[in-house]
Amino acid sequence: MKININTKRFIYLISPNKIYNQNSFYIELEKILKSKKIYFFQLRLKKHKEKQIIQIGKKVGSICKKYKTKLIINDNPFIAKKLNADGCHLGQKDMKLYKAKKIINNKILGVTCHNSKKLIKKVINSKPTYIAIGAFFRSRTKKIKYRADINLLKYVKKMTKIPVVTIGGINNKNYKKLLLNNANFLAISGYIWNNKKYKPHEAIEKLK
Long-range contacts of 142-147 (CB under 8 A, 24+ apart): 144/168, 144/169, 145/114, 146/114, 146/115, 146/116, 147/115
Q: Can you tell me the distance from the alpha carbon of 72 to that of 77, in angstroms, rounded to the nearest whole number?
A: 10
Please give the Cα distance from 175 to 147 (Å, whole number). Answer: 16
Whether residue 170 has pLDDT greater than 90: yes
Mind listing the pLDDT tens digit for each residue in 65-77? Answer: 999 999 999 999 9
Name the residue type at position 181.
Answer: N
Report whether pLDDT(117) > 80. yes
Average pLDDT, the chain: 95
Query: In the predicted model, what is the mean pLDDT of residues 107-136?
Result: 96
- Domains delineated in the chain: 11-205 (3.20.20.70)
Q: Are 72 and 88 in contact (CB under 8 A)?
A: yes
Average pLDDT over residues 127-145: 86
Q: What is the pTM of this model?
A: 0.95
Q: What is the percentage of the chain residues whose pLDDT exceeds 90?
A: 90
The whole-angstrom separation of Cα 144 and Cα 134 is 9
- Please name which of 94, 59, 58 lies closest in space to residue 77, comparing C-alpha atoms: 94
Q: Determine the average pLDDT of the residues in 96-122.
A: 96
The whole-number average pLDDT for the span 63-90 is 98
> Which residue type sits at 130?
Y
Reference 124, options 146, 97, 102; nearest CA is: 97
pLDDT given for residue 120 in this prediction: 96
- Examine the pLDDT at 6 and tell me if it is beyond 90: no
pLDDT value at 1 more than 90: no
pLDDT digits (tens, 9 = 90+) for 151-165: 999 999 999 999 999
pLDDT of residue 5: 87
The whole-number average pLDDT for the span 131-139 is: 92
Q: Check: CB of residue 45 under 8 Å from CB of residue 15.
A: yes
Task: Judge whether 111 and 77 are in contact, CB under 8 Å.
Answer: no
Residue 142 pLDDT level (bands cut at 50, 70, 90) = low
